[in-house]
Amino acid sequence: MFMSTKHKIWSAFCAALLTLAVACFGSIPAVADNPDPTKTSAAEAGPKAFEENLKRVAVADAEASANLEKFHALTPEQQGQIEQVVSDGTAGKELQEALTGSNPEQAGALSKITVDNGVENESTGEKEDATTDRRSSYSVKQEIFGITITKLSQSFIYQVQGGSVVATKSCTASSVNFNLAVALSEDTSHWTQNSHGVCETTWHGNIFFKGFGVRLDKIQHLEVDARGFYSGWLVNA
């Protein structure tokens, strides 16, 4: 009986001591914290996050492979600059600020903005007055030291008869984005306007810039006539 009572007292004392320890110091985790690396922000991803991301994507992507080869040809200082402006969000911020109006580059920005467009016939051997399917493309690319950071592209299929665009069939948008600090999505629409065709994309994005989230909303506009590319621009939504 005495031993049983003594055991109960000792158990109660230990329980009280444990309660006090938890109250003072908090609960003790069963295992050490090990955050999911896929949820790590660009700023916490390490000094070579851009290069490591290129290596990962390059395994199955030719454009990433070519980009990685050009990256390795840069000087260590240039590579370090790219890693820095991508990781702290500066490159994303330049993308947000620079692509406005017909002259997208801004003085002092590390990024260079290039545009590309083209047209090709989807149908061949048609008579002169027949309806012909054509495809036009338009892309805007952000580069630093010749390395692609982000590219926004459109592919537009439409029908031409005589000297007019008579119908639009599809407007497809795609992005090549090697910037871990930028996440993108898009909506597209297409229509005829007078004798022209219009393919329009609204880009929605979030930029992680120096610890804060910044919105990126752009409208990319491709207009064609019977000859092909007529005009294109990318502006703030």
Mean of the per-residue pLDDT values for the chain? 78
Sheet of 228-236: strand order equals: 182-193, 196-209, 212-225, 228-236
Q: 236 or 47: whose pLDDT is higher?
A: 236
For 20, 118, 160, the CA distances from 190, given in Å and listed in that order, are 68, 18, 15
Please state, as a whole number, how many other Cβ atoms lie within 10 Å of the Cβ of residue 201: 24
When pLDDT is averaged across residues 9-20 and rounded to a whole number, the result is 43
**Which amino acid does the sequence have at 1?**
M
This prediction's pTM: 0.75
Kindly report, residue by residue over 94-142, the tens digit of the pLDDT. 888 765 454 455 555 788 888 888 777 665 555 667 889 999 999 999 9
- Percent of the chain predicted with pLDDT > 90: 48
**Which amino acid does the sequence have at 45?**
A
* Residues whose CB is less than 8 angstroms from the CB of residue 182 and which lie 6 or more positions away in sequence, other chains included: 91, 92, 95, 150, 205, 206, 207, 208, 216
Kindly report, residue by residue over 199-215, the tens digit of the pLDDT. 999 999 888 777 777 88
Q: How far is CA 159 from the centre of its chain?
A: 31
